[in-house]
Amino acid sequence: MASTASYPSSRAGSTLPPFPDDLPTAPLVTISLRKLVENTSGVEHERLFSAAKSLGFFYLDVRGTPEGKHLLRQADDLFDLMNEFFSLPVEEKAKYDFAAKKSYFGYKGIGKEVVDGKGTRDKNEIYNISKDDLLSVTDPLPAPAVITTNRQTLTSYITTNTAILTTLFASLSTSLQLPSDTFASLHRPAAPSGCHVRFISAPPQDPSTRSNALGEHTDFGSLTILLNRLGGLQVQLPGTEEWVYVRPMPGCAIVNLGDAMVKFSGGILRSNLHRVVSPPGEQAKEVRRSLVYFSRPEHDVVLTRLRGGFVDELGDGGVEEVGVSAREWLARRHIGRKIEFFEGKESWEGSMGTEARPLVVSQ
Ligand SMILES: O=C(O)CCC(=O)C(=O)O
Ligand SMILES: [Fe+2]
């Protein structure tokens, strides 16, 4: 990989200003991947289940596992690759913007999405790279050389994320008293789906005109694995209007649940509202980058309540929803926010996820 990096990866991460110590932060619990994998007691699985039901966000400490070691090393490589990608001229990146074709994948320039029903524009660049493209499930989309020459790095990142997701899915299936392969069987890597790697870059904002870089939303899919170097991500505390920063933690990914997990569990699991604003304190002067892996159910999976276990006992009080497919859910949710298709408050509201649902179980 050419070394044009001006943005520090964690290899040189100490050059970034620290997250301030005097800020209220979101109460994410830390789940140990090693303890989940070693499986010597049920305690870590219970802690994960509790976090998945209450806030829907948690830190996953990946240290002490082979997958975790790969994740952190590969993320360093991808932060460098991300820097190379975002350093390309805007006209070059714009060649890979496929929004007009309603494609979810490819490049999105600054201000090409709305962050609210009034039509306020976003303040970040995004590049979405499809799992199906990287694993040759579908034909590849055109991509710049910096991406096509680094497909192997991206593919390995998918493999690592898939291994970690398999552990999390098995734990959550078992906690719901469903067969342990229940979630994994809805997320087979070789089946077409909306899973993808995302690069995000947000330039520092002028303090006098600050607004959301990325509007409030719940994630559309199943589980999201996020690596942040700087603050800026905020979650809304459940049952309140209060937004608080999530402090990035060394050795940890930030993991959150998306709408599909709410649907599958009949509302037992939580997909929490979040957004991205300027990083706090001195960090606001830096370019903010994040690396995300989104898992989503296979396109043909219908997003409806599963049968059995706690879902039958505790989920939704027996209300049966007519589910849409994961493909339709993704299309509806992303289209309403693209400026090409945004038509005001109604299209914003039409792109909502599961955020309006009350908590069925709070602990
Ligand atoms: O950049 C972040 O910290 C979060 C990004 C996010 O929420 C998303 O891309 O869905
Ligand atoms: Fe998100």
* pLDDT beyond 60 at 317: no
- In this structure, CATH architecture of domain 21-350: Sandwich (2.60)
Pairwise CA distance, residues 53 & 56, whole Å: 6
272: CA distance to ligand 2 center in Å?
9
Q: CB–CB of 237/244 below 8 Å?
A: yes
Q: Higher model confidence: residue 209 or residue 21?
A: 21
Measured from the Cα of 254, ligand 1's closest atom is: 3
Structure confidence by residue, pLDDT tens digits, 28-58: 999 999 999 999 899 999 999 999 999 999 9
Q: What angle, 0 to 180 degrees and rounded to 10, lies between the N-to-C axes of helices 66-86 and 151-175?
A: 130
Give the count of beta carbons closer than 10 Å to the beta carbon of residue 174.
18
| The pLDDT value given to residue 11 | 47
| The pLDDT value given to residue 351 | 76
How many CA atoms lie less than 13 Å away from 109 in the CB half-sphere?
Answer: 14
- Among 228, 276, 295, 355, residue to substitute to test ligand 1 (most atoms within 8 Å of Cβ): 276
Which residues are found with C-beta within 5 Å of the ion, ligand 2?
A: 219
Cβ neighbours of residue 107 closer than 8 Å, sequence gap 6 or more:
93, 94, 95, 96, 97, 125, 126, 127
* pLDDT beyond 50 at 4: no
**pTM of the prediction?**
0.93
41: CA distance to ligand 2 center in Å?
31
User: Could you tell me the pLDDT band of residue 14, with boundaries at 50, 70 and 90?
Assistant: low
Q: CB–CB of 119/141 below 8 Å?
A: no
Residue position matching structure tokens 């997250």: 19
* pLDDT beyond 90 at 308: yes
By C-alpha distance, which of 138, 149, 145 is closest to 105? 138
Cβ neighbours of residue 252 closer than 8 Å, sequence gap 6 or more:
30, 59, 60, 61, 62
* pLDDT beyond 60 at 187: yes
Name 319's bridge partners: none
Pairwise CA distance, residues 175 & 43, whole Å: 11
Q: CB–CB of 128/106 below 8 Å?
A: yes
By C-alpha distance, which of 223, 254, 209, 220 is closest to 337? 220
| The pLDDT value given to residue 79 | 97
**How far are the Cα atoms of 22, 33, 74, 146 from residue 153, in angstroms, in the given order?**
38, 23, 7, 11
What ipTM goes with this model? Answer: 0.99
Ligand nearest 214 Cα, by number? Answer: 1
What is the percent of the chain with per-residue pLDDT over 70, rounded to a whole number?
93
224: CA distance to ligand 2 center in Å?
8
Pairwise CA distance, residues 181 & 141, whole Å: 32
276: CA distance to ligand 1 center in Å?
7
Structure confidence by residue, pLDDT tens digits, 279-288: 999 999 999 9
Distance of CA 13 to the CA centre of its chain: 22
Pairwise CA distance, residues 31 & 37, whole Å: 11
User: Could you tell me the pLDDT band of residue 189, with boundaries at 50, 70 and 90?
Assistant: very high
User: Could you tell me the pLDDT band of residue 358, with boundaries at 50, 70 and 90?
Assistant: low
| The pLDDT value given to residue 319 | 58
User: Could you tell me the pLDDT band of residue 59, with boundaries at 50, 70 and 90?
Assistant: very high
Q: CB–CB of 275/212 below 8 Å?
A: yes
* pLDDT beyond 70 at 360: no
Q: CB–CB of 64/140 below 8 Å?
A: no
Three-class secondary structure of residue 225 per DSSP: strand
Q: Higher model confidence: residue 340 or residue 233?
A: 233
Q: Whose CA is nearest to atom 2 of ligand 1?
A: 233
| The pLDDT value given to residue 104 | 87
Calculate mean pLDDT across residues 311-315: 83
Three-class secondary structure of residue 244 per DSSP: strand
Q: What angle, 0 to 180 degrees and rounded to 10, lies between the N-to-C axes of helices 43-54 and 151-175?
A: 100
- All structural domains of the chain with their residue ranges: 21-350
Q: What is the CA radius of gyration of the chain?
A: 19
| The pLDDT value given to residue 347 | 78
